[in-house]
Each structure stands twice: as structure tokens, then as C-alpha cells.
Amino acid sequence: MTWGWTGIRGTWATPAASESLARMADHGVNWTAIAYAVEQATAQSTELPWDQAPTVTEDEIIWAIREAKSHGLKVCLKPVVNVSDGTWRAYIGFFDWDVPGEPTWGQWFVAYTEFILHAARIAEAEGCEMLCIGCEMVRADSRESEWRALVAAVREVYSGVIAYNCDKYQEDHVTWWDAVDVITASGYYPIDRWDAELDRIEQVVDAAAKPFFFMEAGCPSRVGSADLPNDWNLVGTPSGEEQLRYYRAMFDACDARPWMRGFMLWDWPPVLYAEADAAESDDYCPYGKPAGAYVRERYLATRTA
């Protein structure tokens, strides 16, 4: 399960956050991706002020790791880039060749490497079992040499497992899977597309000979979301049954693939809504909803099998 998004300063290392992690752990979860974001101003900015608000502080990150481990969870630390003006990070990008006076990929990767290395040093010091070095960076995915250099720099300071989280439909477009230890993706596939997409992903996994899991996957509890699980702005009334229907289809399709290692389901916030209000929540979090009970049942069954 993914915990903590978006990593807003002041929302971690609180009694509410501690209670949230405890309730998540009670759902049979054995791994968590602790996710937080740095904000760059626009999709063409080259400054990533990861040590400034709204990003969580280093102390908050360390608190979250230790709190998760106190519940017996393995931890993947997941630093992510967001864009302050609302542009999706997949559109972060620059000219393919450097132009004087214009921002460049090289400048951006210098700042991004600093951000990721800061996370890598924390992950090493706190014994995080995995580090995710990027999330859904579709336009950046083609910058193979820069990603390889980043992975090499991370390995200088971090000894754990390194993963990259590509976006949905991008699994077969990343050319540097050999550089990381684990292939991961955001699996927001329409409910009727799971088998076809898993057939496609299986070819990537076989060719790379790497472990695979979905670093993100899930569905809002909202009418219509099973067909568009990636659209968090979809208009629809709250529906726990819609979310449950999606989870059943996703788990059944993935369980049939022995190469699929699991999920970091999306997502579990640092401040939970009251369980009594779950039926009115239309977001991804399954807490207090039929999908939450289903996840707990399936996860506990897997752990005792």
C-alpha cells in the first residue's frame, strides 16, 4: 500500500498520521511505499526545492520510515516530482538538444539527481528495502543516458533494491530496465483490459528477466471509475461497490500471472477520514469500504498460504 501522499509538510509525524499507518498495517499490508513530492514551478522549471515547504522535512520522512517499520512493514521510499501549476509530471520536458538561453534536460537532471540522492541517503541510513527513483516521467523516459547515470550515482550511496515506476502503457517503451533491479508500473488499466495488458507486460518482463510489480494500482470508489481508474477528476457519485468490482477483477487477473509479484496499492493518506464517513468518500483509499475488507482478506490469505 502507498502511504503519505503527497507528503505535505506538517501532515506526517502526528498522532493522526500514526493512527493512519496503524490502520493500514491492519489490512494485511507487508510493504509500503512512503510517497512524497517536491514541487517544481512549471513543467519547464529546472529548480526542485526539496528542502522547502510544502515538501515534508527530512525528520518527517525518517519518522514515517521508522513508524512503518514499527508495524513490521518493509519500506520502499518513493520521492516524486509534482508541478505547482497542476501540470502532470509526465509532461515535464525540454528540447531534445540544448539551446542557449533555454532550460535543458541537463540542468533538470542535476537538480533531480540531488533530490533523489537525498532520498537515497535517507533510505540507506534507515534500512529501506527499496528506493523508487522516479514516477510516471513519460517525456523523460527517453533520456536513457541520464537515467543510467542517476542509477549509478544512487548505487554509490544506497545498497538496497532500486526500482522505477513507469506510467501505464509505457512498460514496453523504457529502454533501460536492465539498469534497475525491479520493473514497476502504474497499473490503472480499465477493468476489461487487464488480461490484454498483462499479456503485453509479460513480454517485457520475460525480455528483461527482472521481477515485476505494480508500484501503483487502484480505483476510486466512484461510479464510472472502473472504466477510467486513472481519472481522479471523473464525475460520479460515491460507490464502494464500483471500487470492489474493480479490485476483484484486478486481483483475479494478476493472481493468474505467477511473474506478477504484488502491488503498492494507491493509496492511503496520512490523515484518514472517519470510518463512519467511508461511504461518502469517492477517493482511492479503500479504508472502511468493501474494497478495504476485500484487500485485507486477500492479503492475509496470501501471507498465510
pLDDT digits (tens, 9 = 90+) for 73-86: 999 999 999 999 99
* Antiparallel, parallel or unpaired: β 212-216 and 2-3: unpaired
**What CATH code would you report for 2-304?**
3.20.20.80
Query: What is residue 305's predicted lDDT score, i.e. its pLDDT?
Result: 61
Q: What residues are paired with 78 via a beta bridge? A: 35
Please return the burial class of 162, using the count of CB atoms within 10 Å of its CB with bins 0-12, 13-18 and 19+. Answer: buried
Query: What is residue 129's predicted lDDT score, i.e. its pLDDT?
Result: 98
Q: Are 116 and 151 in contact (CB under 8 A)?
A: no
Mean pLDDT of the chain: 97
pLDDT digits (tens, 9 = 90+) for 174-228: 999 999 999 999 999 999 999 999 999 999 999 999 999 999 999 999 999 999 9
Query: What is residue 303's predicted lDDT score, i.e. its pLDDT?
Result: 77
pLDDT digits (tens, 9 = 90+) for 49-71: 999 999 999 999 999 999 999 99
Q: Which amino acid is at 127?
A: G
Q: Write out the H or E segment, with its range, that includes residue 65.
A: helix 58-70
Query: What is residue 60's predicted lDDT score, i.e. its pLDDT?
Result: 98
Section 101-128 average pLDDT: 98
Report CA torsion sign: 103, 104, 110, 116. positive
Residue showing cell 490469505: 301
Q: Write out the H or E segment, with its range, that includes residue 241.
A: helix 240-255
pLDDT digits (tens, 9 = 90+) for 262-299: 999 999 999 999 999 999 999 999 999 999 999 999 99
CA 123-126-130 angle, 5° bins: 40
pLDDT digits (tens, 9 = 90+) for 8-38: 999 999 999 999 999 999 999 999 999 999 9
Residue 302 has pLDDT above 90, yes or no: no
Distance between CA atoms of residues 124 and 128, nearest Å: 6
What letters, b where the CB count within 10 A reaches 16 and e where it falls short, cover 56-76? bbeebbebbbebbbeeebebb
Q: Are 132 and 33 in contact (CB under 8 A)?
A: yes
pLDDT digits (tens, 9 = 90+) for 115-151: 999 999 999 999 999 999 999 999 999 999 999 999 9
Query: What is residue 238's predicted lDDT score, i.e. its pLDDT?
Result: 98
Distance between CA atoms of residues 60 and 66, nearest Å: 10
Section 156-184 average pLDDT: 98
Dihedral pair phi/psi, residue 33, rounded to 5°: -95, 110
Please return the burial class of 258, using the count of CB atoms within 10 Å of its CB with bins 0-12, 13-18 and 19+. Answer: exposed
Q: Are 229 and 188 in contact (CB under 8 A)?
A: yes
Look at the pTM and tell me if it is higher than 0.75.
Answer: yes
Cα separation values, 213 from 14, 30, 173, 174, 247, Å: 30, 14, 17, 15, 16
Please return the burial class of 223, using the count of CB atoms within 10 Å of its CB with bins 0-12, 13-18 and 19+. Answer: middle
